Amino acid sequence: MTAFVGRDVAVEFAIGPEGTAPGSTDWKALGMMRGKSMKTSWETVDTTADKSPGFTKTNLVTFKSVEFSGDGVSYDDDVFNQALFKGHAISPGSATSNQPKVWLRMTDPNGDKYQGPFIISEYSDDRPYADAATWSITAMSNGNVVFTPAP
């Protein structure tokens, strides 16, 4: 396996409800990103009882949640699709029943891929006086997010 840097990881989005997987032409690159993160968490339930081996706690998992977070430098070029994403995050339309729902796909240079439906839970614009204007997003899974290793 070859190491890679984060700038070579592609992030794409498609605006649509969680029940309808996007077609190949629906995906748009989210450009001029810096940080890109996908975090998977499992909720657990305690299954420890009076006869648990060695008085050691035991658990089962119940539900998985996946969180995407990312940030980038603000650009107004259409090719980076930032205005489209921001518009949907702040004022979602009827295509998603006025909910900030998107499909996200993050692909590593070797072909490893995360893909699934998300709800945008936070969108932030920062405009410091003497620095680049930036933006950041956080989105939480809203259905099955799948990790597919490279073939």
Domains identified in the chain, total number: 1
Asked if residue 50 is part of any domain, the answer here is: no
Asked if residue 24 is part of any domain, the answer here is: yes
Give per-residue pLDDT as tens, 98-125. 999 999 999 999 999 999 999 999 999 9
Q: What is the pLDDT of residue 1?
A: 61
Write out the two tokens for 90: 């702040």
On the question of pLDDT at 59 being above 70, the answer is: yes
Give per-residue pLDDT as tens, 35-47. 999 999 999 999 9
CATH number for position 105? 4.10.410
User: Which are the contacts of 88, defined by CB distance < 8 A and separation ≥ 6?
Assistant: 15, 96, 100, 102, 120
Give per-residue pLDDT as tens, 69-94. 999 999 999 999 999 999 999 999 99
Residue 94's domain spans which residues?
8-44+58-148
d(CA 111, CA 150): 5
141: confidence class by pLDDT, cuts 50, 70, 90: very high
